[in-house]
Structure 1
Amino acid sequence: MNALPPSFCAWFASRGWRVHPHQQSMLDRAGAASLLLVAPTGGGKTLAGFLPSLVELSQPRPGLHTLYISPLKALAADIRRNLTTPVQEMALPIRIEDRTGDTSYTQRRRQRADPPQILLTTPESLALLLSYEDAPRIFAGLSRVIVDEIHALAESKRGDQLMLCLSRLQTLAPGMRRVGLSATVEDPDAIARFLAPAPHPREIIHADPGPEPDIAMLETGAPPPWAGGGGRYAIPSILDQVRAHRTTLIFHNTRAQAELFFHDLWLQNHEDLPIGIHHGSLSREQRERVEAAMVAGSLRAIVCTGSLDLGIDWGDVDLVVQVGAPKNVKRLVQRIGRANHRYNAPSKALLVPANRFEVVECLAALEAARAHDLDGEPRGTGPRDVLCQHLLLLACSGPLEADATYAEVTTAGPYAGLTRAEFDDCLNFVATGGYALRAYDRWQRLMQRDGRWQLRDPRAAQMIRMNIGTILDPETVKVRIRGRGGAPLGEVEEEFAASLSQGDTFLIAGQIVRYEGLREMTVEVSRSPGRDPRVAVFNGTKFATSTLLTHRILDMFQQRDWPGLPRHTADWLALQRRASRLPQRDRLLVETFPHEGRRYLAAYGFAGRNAQQTLGLLLTKRMEEQGLAPLGFVATDYATLIWGLEDVADPAPLFDATALREGLDVWLAGNAVMKRTFRASAVISGLIARNSAGRRKTGRQATFSSDILYETLRKYDPDHLLMQITREEAMRGLVDFGRIEEMLARVGGRIDHMALDRVTPLAAPMLLEQGRVPVEGAGRERLAEEAARRLMEAAGLE
């Protein structure tokens, strides 16, 4: 066992702390080439990750020793504050700095010339640092890399980018050791392979998970509505919980839902409890004010989104409320961990289903969390658009040799299976733009000299660096209060801004504002006292229910009764069983029925919203070909509801896997989904620049450029690398066809067709999703409630 130096022991004792077993294990295995620590939130895993570095650095040494990588700029800044305390109190000769997009140009230049011993950064800033010619000098003495919240990075292209950067760092510093930290890992072996593929030896340390969290569904006076996602019905009960706790985080799955809920919460907050709102579309100033108030303990509640998911210790939070089904067990566990952020203190959380079906989903999530059954969809191989960007960055730092670079890239976990032909395709694309574009000078970026590839024009390095990153900013414009020195409020999508007329009101930063005009790409607004705003269209992620939760829900349906469900929901499922049947995991339930002069088909695929949306597009296309006159459809996480003019006598042929795949290929070819996906991959791969010196393209300019390129390649070079990437990305992203294929394989052609004479209890809420009450103004809610009551009566639910 490696003993702590006396100064460290004294410091721990002065705090009344003792070294936790997993912290000692990290110290004992400090020399391991790759180490993954899985420890509960509040378990001191960040200190465990840094402890070996602090001990090694207690003896003075110059240069960069430890690189810490965080998915959030705010988390890097928070870790710097937390690490500074022991360093100062033990008088350790260590300089700690962070380097993110918020770091000044002067400080960034100084860091390159004289790196600190510990540097805290993000994947994007690391990629930028590696693109400079002096990267070999900066990183030559690097000893350890610590990747925090590695599970969050592993689920996105940012993680792929980071692993490619680590492969370059390992070349520059062969003795570099890798450390991954996480509280929520469903498959530790897979994350360990992601962090360091073979032949690197890998070790995993599991900390004591601590006490079980205190999680339950919130009991409310009123049952949840049949449809919708806002959770407004539960506000009185949530306010009761806010009063009973010190600080409550109220999580939502989308930014728009958070804004709506905050507005409604504030209207019912008759005691004027201090409540804030925090999400990614708010201005930096707005977010920092809320964060400062949280740290000071002056807020009783914060309505938030994923912007507060990760490991920042925000003040004295003792309750987490999740409004809406979490869709993903790992996300729920991560959010639960924000409460009582201390070792061996149970977290406390309450789930608030936003509608009747989400009651079932919330119960499934609760049971999975209690069973430590975490979900995770396999990501597959590393995306090639990220590899293309990485090759451009390597070329910025100096000439590269193809064989050595291929060998280096394939040491990155996501790219371990990359073939040489795939690598060469990427290198050729980066060098020339590919077959159809090689005649244009603007895409002739690399040339070969003495067997090595280098930039044709060294001045291009500035443009490449300005467009680093895999996070695609939504096409937004800033919102600011009108007048000299008007406060910035945040951002809204360009498309939403274009739809506004003077006098329109909308909701942002928790307040209603009036649109006054667009000035220099900024939406100018004034404050409005109105109570019925429009809502800004935020480009937030719309989560799909995970496969694990889907299977748990389907298994729950097969129970004889449901003692864990509220009476109203259990009765609803029992009525569905009597009127039709409940879906099963290995069979596909398809219902057909008439309603108000239309013929309906409901397919319960339980494949997630994106896949069910795609299924609706494909099924209606096939129905059109068969003369069944479909008129429209609506999709939820669990089903697709199609309405039209003709009965579907036999739905089985509609679900033929080969025909669906062929229909998808035809539909995708000229679809907006493909164009949108192409634009994203073209930006990431460096084919289209987001930024140029002195200006940034608007979303519409980027869309226009990418649409022309897409149509050109589709016509003249359909097998171009970027077209291949686009198809791959569309299939596993917006279209999510893999979930449809999983569903079809699961049911194996076993279709239960229920031809009925009326709408069923399970289908009824989907008719409300259609938004068939196009009424605005004060009477809207009452009319919607009346429409819902009539529909539920037709389904036998009232």
Structure 2
Amino acid sequence: MPDTADAWFARRGWRPFEFQREVWAAAARADSGLLHATTGAGKTYAVAFGAIERIPQGGQGAPPLSVLWITPMRALAADTLRALQAPLADLRPRATIGLRSGDTPSAERARQDRRWPTVLVTTPESLSLMLTRAQVADELASVQTVIVDEWHELIGSKRGVQVQLALARLRRWNPHLIVWGLSATLGNLQEAMHTLLGHEQGCLVRGRIDKSLVIDTLLPDQPGRFTWGGHLGAQMQPAVVREIEASTGTTLIFTNVRSQAEIWYQLLLEARPDWAGQIALHHGSLDKEVREWVEAGLKAGTLKAVVATSSLDLGVDFLPVERVLQIGSAKGIARLLQRAGRSGHAPGRPSRVTVVPTHTLELVEAVAAREAALAGRVEERCSPDKPLDVLVQHLVTVALGGGFTADELFDEVRSAPAYAALTREEFDWVLAFVERGGHSLHAYPEYHRIRWVEAEGRYRVVDRGIAQRHKLQIGTIVGDTAMKVAWLSGGSLGTIEESFIARLSAGDCFVFAGRVLEYVRTREMTAYVRLAARATGRVVVWNGARMAFSSAMADAVRAVIERAGSGPGGALVLDSPELRAAGPMLETQRSLSRLPEPGELLIERYRSREGHHLFIYPFAGRHVHLGLAGLLAWRLARHEPNTYSLAFSDLGFELLGAKPVDLAALLDGSAWSVEGLLDDVLASLNARELAQRRFREIARVAGLIFTGYPGAHKGLKQLQASSSLFYEVFRKYDAGNRLLSQAENEALSQELELSRLREVMRDLAGRRARLVDLRAASPFALPLMVERLRERLSNEKMQDRLARLLAEAQQRLDASPAAPAPEPVASPSAEAARPPRARRRPIRPIPAPAESAAYNLAPAPPTGPPDRDDSLT
């Protein structure tokens, strides 16, 4: 096998890396495993040759289906197909290759239904659909090798659980099946490999190549002394344009959310109208033809720049891409590294990502991300624990695909690591729920989805209507109902969530697909539009468009801020260009308040006409702060009744009380006790609403709600009403329904990150509390106030209020520039340990360096760090 691969490489003037040879040798021994290597290092060919070698060569015609290549994204599937065609044609000329995804044309599907290609590139959803075919056991028994690409992207989601269940099914038909996973950014490699391979022993291959990685920052001219979300956005427009102009190749500009991508595309066109046709927009809501046009332009190198979301940050190979810009903080180390790998996507070529801060604190976040990347602190990702909604769906899928017996399927499902702890009682409950609808739905035949067929001795789906509805909504990707956006004259632009379209009236203008559109009318779940005469409009906002710090990112940011304030004699430690640019903001924070020291919890108190503000900075990420804010408000109000408004960000949270707050429990640390934590969390937040929101997704995955036939999809209100009805029926008449328990557990573990919350609270209980009474809103406090104002006031009023806050803070600073900050109040136990307070110095603006802060990362082992216990957001 290696000789064949060596010869193929040699004909192209290439030489294989050692990790590629290691994978080839492992595949030749029929070993399964996980390959972890840097993006652009050659992972695809490392596993491809092992898979191709196992394709049978004898017989007449094309070999049967032998290789399944599973990818998480359709764009990545098409790219993988192109990458595999050349070696397959040379090494197995009679073998065929095909692609099966939601974008596959019906004619191609029909050809595949008659005869599968030898190598099939597909997605988890399409693979699950294949499992519903009546003769699936005969069709897939020939599969020798399964490759799961971008395993780090799948492992932590229910899509990854789908893959685990599908692999368990394939292993039943072929016990000698070989499975290989590909990953670029994972911290817990052994656990990730075990999750992919089940209970088998595997071969963990760590790719080590000399690949230079540069993470730098585009510094703003005027970072300012205060910061709030997005205030640097427009200021960075000229600098981004200059970076694109200076690039000799294509520039990829990544944003975290689709609405931000639409905004930046418009900003670039506004600055350079002559770039029309040379820059493009790419995100998952755009029409397939638009996305394919952009991907083709990237391949050919004809596009100057592309503004994209995560739709392009996986392993798509665009060699012409020279630069990658990241708008705002990437919020996670793995995400930043993944996007950096889109440039120089070939062995030996350097990768570079440039962070474009949208507010001053993101300069600090850029330093934290770079240092964490240097140290190899990449986030861990873990599989969901036995999600029963996925199992409900899988039972119907298997019943369609030839049927099953309970004992055999129970053993098979338990071989998937996500269900290793599944009890027979839980499995039997799922079986009864699918067969009879449980205690509360037994009177409704449409929920009797499977039936025991005595003549066959198996559970089967016998109702054609149930079978059709199940196939139409297989999968675990659940979002708001999407409406098609189409021109009045014909042609599609893409899809937008129904909740946004529902707020539009005829004549309203909005920005989508890089154009300003005028809404005309809605017919049959299609929003018809025409080109607007106006130059501006509302930006489309998608639900779930907030990203939070990962735990690794949160820890790194806290460490940078603590270091910045730890200089001798009270001096700031500004040891990078980004921190020097953020110096005025950090100095202002220290002047009006303080910078937290290691082992310290900063608490700020401020009185305004709105009430009594309390700002607390655990630096633990938005999701944890959501739980902390509600929990603390509940515990404080339980001792002394008060009314609180809450706001939270990645750095901290705000409690705005109608009355002064008794801080004794905060200062002595008792407020952070984990005793009775679960009960207090459930009582402090609207846990029922959180669980009900999670149940909407669970109900769709479990098939309780049918989203409609093609061209006749149900509206969002219908689906919400249906899920709410099921939720209430189960609560009243089927309190033991395990899908209700799953909804509560997911609300706690995913939305509130209960395990991380408990860990953070233990840490906070051991920190010294430092209380500062503010004269004006500090740079740390201002973003939290703006966050709350955005929720409560119109834009105009918010701008007025923000201007007043800034003017008040500026007046305080200018009135006594050398005045010391208010004396911090320490917790009684830490009073003696507090160091003497240094004299505060006047704020001196520090000019930003002319060049961006570039750091060449030494090629740290691309294997990631040793396994750690940190959780992943």
Report the TM-score when normalising by structure 1: 0.93
Q: Which has the higher contact order (CA 8 A, sep 6+)?
A: 2
For the residue of structure 1 that corresponds to 2:693, the secondary structure is: helix
Q: How does 1:454-493 map to 2 (within 5 A)?
A: 454-455=460-461, 457=463, 459-482=465-488, 484-485=489-490, 487-493=491-497
CA distance in 2, matches of 1:529, 1:599: 47
CA apart distance, 1:532: 3.7
- Contact 1:590 / 1:752 at 8 angstroms: preserved in 2? yes
The equivalent residue for 1:125 is 126
For the residue of structure 2 that corresponds to 1:381, the secondary structure is: coil
Q: How does 1:202-351 map to 2 (within 5 A)?
A: 202-223=202-223, 226-229=227-230, 231-245=233-247, 246-269=249-272, 271-272=274-275, 274-351=278-355
- Contact 2:148 / 2:181 at 8 angstroms: preserved in 1? yes
Q: How does 1:301-700 map to 2 (within 5 A)?
A: 301-449=305-453, 452-455=458-461, 457=463, 459-482=465-488, 484-485=489-490, 487-559=491-563, 560=566, 561-564=573-576, 565-577=578-590, 579-583=592-596, 588-622=601-635, 628-650=641-663, 651-652=665-666, 655-658=672-675, 661-666=678-683, 671-692=688-709, 695-700=712-717
CA distance in 2, matches of 1:526, 1:459: 38
Residue identity opposite 2:346 in structure 1: R
Deviations 1:160-219 (A, max 9, x none): 110110000000111110111122222211111111122x12111112232230111112
For the residue of structure 2 that corresponds to 1:436, the secondary structure is: coil
Deviations 1:702-728 (A, max 9, x none): 111111111121223233111011111
Q: In 2 relative to 1, CA 173–110 (structure 1 residues): closer, same or farther, beyond 3 Å?
A: farther
CA distance in 2, matches of 1:89, 1:172: 30
* Number of corresponding residues: 790
Residue identity opposite 1:756 in structure 2: D
The equivalent residue for 1:47 is 45
- Contact 2:592 / 2:774 at 8 angstroms: preserved in 1? no
Q: In 2 relative to 1, CA 620–38 (structure 1 residues): closer, same or farther, beyond 3 Å?
A: same
The equivalent residue for 1:727 is 744
CA apart distance, 1:270: 5.2
Q: Comparing 609-618 with 702-711, which one deviates more in the overlay?
A: 609-618
Residue identity opposite 2:722 in structure 1: S
Q: In 2 relative to 1, CA 623–84 (structure 1 residues): closer, same or farther, beyond 3 Å?
A: same
CA distance in 1, matches of 2:685, 2:174: 45
Q: In 2 relative to 1, CA 395–409 (structure 1 residues): closer, same or farther, beyond 3 Å?
A: same
- Contact 2:34 / 2:203 at 8 angstroms: preserved in 1? yes
CA distance in 2, matches of 1:629, 1:636: 23
Residue identity opposite 1:249 in structure 2: L
**Match for 1:747 among 761, 764, 767?**
764
CA distance in 2, matches of 1:530, 1:725: 48
Q: In 2 relative to 1, CA 446–755 (structure 1 residues): closer, same or farther, beyond 3 Å?
A: same
- Contact 2:555 / 2:620 at 8 angstroms: preserved in 1? no
CA distance in 2, matches of 1:18, 1:161: 37
Runs of 5+ unmatched residues, structure 1: none
CA distance in 2, matches of 1:243, 1:45: 32
CA distance in 1, matches of 2:390, 2:589: 47
- Contact 1:12 / 1:18 at 8 angstroms: preserved in 2? yes
For the residue of structure 2 that corresponds to 1:74, the secondary structure is: helix
Q: Comparing 508-517 with 565-574, which one deviates more in the overlay?
A: 565-574
The equivalent residue for 2:832 is none
1:35 aligns with 2:33: yes
**Match for 1:17 among 14, 19, 22?**
14
CA distance in 1, matches of 2:384, 2:87: 41
CA distance in 1, matches of 2:9, 2:717: 56
Residue identity opposite 2:693 in structure 1: R
CA distance in 1, matches of 2:722, 2:306: 41
Runs of 5+ unmatched residues, structure 2: 567-572, 815-842, 844-873
- Contact 1:157 / 1:470 at 8 angstroms: preserved in 2? yes
CA apart distance, 1:131: 1.5
CA distance in 1, matches of 2:345, 2:108: 33
Deviations 1:623-674 (A, max 9, x none): 5555554352221112111223211122536555456532432466674432
Q: In 2 relative to 1, CA 341–718 (structure 1 residues): closer, same or farther, beyond 3 Å?
A: same
CA apart distance, 1:577: 4.2
CA apart distance, 1:254: 0.8
**Match for 1:761 among 779, 785, 801?**
779
Q: Comparing 785-794 with 391-400, which one deviates more in the overlay?
A: 785-794
- Contact 2:486 / 2:527 at 8 angstroms: preserved in 1? yes
Q: Comparing 718-727 with 52-61, which one deviates more in the overlay?
A: 52-61
CA distance in 1, matches of 2:550, 2:600: 19
Q: In 2 relative to 1, CA 579–646 (structure 1 residues): closer, same or farther, beyond 3 Å?
A: same
Q: In 2 relative to 1, CA 191–216 (structure 1 residues): closer, same or farther, beyond 3 Å?
A: same
1:153 aligns with 2:154: yes
- Contact 1:226 / 1:355 at 8 angstroms: preserved in 2? yes
Q: In 2 relative to 1, CA 137–496 (structure 1 residues): closer, same or farther, beyond 3 Å?
A: same
Residue identity opposite 2:26 in structure 1: R
CA distance in 2, matches of 1:761, 1:376: 32
CA distance in 1, matches of 2:382, 2:808: 40
Deviations 1:123-161 (A, max 9, x none): 111111112121111111211101111111112111111
CA distance in 1, matches of 2:637, 2:81: 60
- Contact 2:525 / 2:713 at 8 angstroms: preserved in 1? no
Q: Comparing 684-693 with 136-145, which one deviates more in the overlay?
A: 684-693
- Contact 2:152 / 2:185 at 8 angstroms: preserved in 1? yes
The equivalent residue for 1:770 is 788
Q: In 2 relative to 1, CA 93–494 (structure 1 residues): closer, same or farther, beyond 3 Å?
A: same
CA distance in 2, matches of 1:95, 1:764: 60
Q: In 2 relative to 1, CA 285–787 (structure 1 residues): closer, same or farther, beyond 3 Å?
A: farther
Q: Comparing 579-588 with 42-51, which one deviates more in the overlay?
A: 579-588
CA apart distance, 1:336: 0.2
Q: How does 1:61-140 map to 2 (within 5 A)?
A: 62-89=63-90, 92-140=93-141
How much is the aligned-residue C-alpha RMSD, in angstroms? Answer: 2.6
Residue identity opposite 2:120 in structure 1: L
- Contact 1:608 / 1:739 at 8 angstroms: preserved in 2? no
